[in-house]
Amino acid sequence: MPIKGRSDVVRIPRIGKIHLGVKQKSERSGNEYPTAVDHFVVKVDESTNQKAVEAFHSVYGDQPREITVAFPSNNPEQFFPQFLSSYRRVGERYELYCKGDGEIANRVDGQGGRVQISCLYRDCPVFQEGKCKELGQLQFFLPDVSGIGVWQIDSSSWHTTVNLNGSIQMVMALTGGRIAMVPLKLRVVPKVVNPDGRPKTVYVLTLGIDDMKLTDFLTRTPLLTAGVPSVEPIPEDELPEDLYLDTQLVEDKPSTPESFEQQDESDADIAAVSEVKFKPYRDTEAAMVRLASLNGELLELLTAEPGVIRKLKALREGTAIRFQATPSQRWLDRLELVDFKVVS
């Protein structure tokens, strides 16, 4: 007899990952860095075994620019999740430090768990330091390649995300909401962009619907018409190593400096303002400040200093500050904000 909630859970395993670049080593520093290429890259790694690599290359060769894919469901949020993500190294492994959607984020709390905070997106110090990326994880079948399971491509490209989202919605509009198991062409194509006013060629992904006719969608039969199992969840602590450099990982640093005057320009005491509230306190005014620090802590500081309160009233949510806090003499077991400086 099956166990409800267990025996009826069926998931499709992940076979491997496809990369959009290769790692090269700097002759000057000796450090590795990713470089985009004009073809799909499949290699043996922690997610892809030798058998899967050989099966892929036997169909598409060494440097394919086009592959046939089929998505496992009709829900883009399942096969192409997109979110803001930052990672950090913990010993010999990696850990998802913070994951957000531009409004809400889940960040490590420094005690082995996670806590929900406001996602400040571009106003967040982690994002401003280049340690948080807009990550998309595309999962799909390769119908022509041996092995039943999904493949995955990670991308932080704005152009790729826009291209894929638009094409996915177009296909679903043409088929009345259906895209699962419909064979489509996924391509790596060059695109000229002007990030600094200078033309630059980048390589982005597209779904090949530009060379298809409307009748192709009206007459095309999906590979499978019955419902398919859900795909195996992507390990959240798995680092997309071809997208993140070691310098783009969040580092563990103390959140409070010993002396405000002795602060250097490091980010050890930087935090983003999440919320500020003011209320009467005795014959004056007090303020409560919530901060999201870079080492995963959520801090709640109090102050009744008139000069600090005046500065707080000029702040807005998302502002990054460098601050000094100390155990409060006014409020039991609370931290008091002594002073701060605006970073951004």
Per-residue CA distances from 327 to 280, 301, 310, 341 (Å): 21, 10, 21, 19
- The count of other CB atoms within 10 Å of the CB of residue 18 is 22
For β-strands 150-155 and 14-25, DSSP reports them as: parallel
Helix and strand counts by DSSP (H, E) for the chain: 6, 18
**pLDDT tens per residue across span 193-233:** 877 677 888 899 999 877 777 777 666 666 655 556 677 78
Query: CATH code for 270-342?
Result: 2.40.50
Per-residue pLDDT band for 268 (boundaries 50, 70, 90) equals very low
Place of tokens 């390649």: 145
Provide mean pLDDT across the span 78-84.
95
Whether 266 shows a pLDDT value over 90: the answer reads no
In three-state secondary structure terms, 189 is strand
**pLDDT tens per residue across span 19-37:** 998 887 776 666 777 788 9
Nearest C-alpha neighbor of 154 from the set 63, 60, 36, 58: 36
Whether 69 shows a pLDDT value over 50: the answer reads yes
* C-beta of residue 325 within 8 angstroms of C-beta of residue 280: no
Cα gap 24→342, rounded to integer Å: 38
- Which residues are CB-neighbours of 69 under 8 A, at least 6 positions away? 140, 141, 142, 143, 151, 183, 184, 185, 186
Domain ranges of the chain: 11-248, 270-342
- The count of other CB atoms within 10 Å of the CB of residue 159 is 16
Q: Which two tokens stand for residue 53?
A: 């690599």
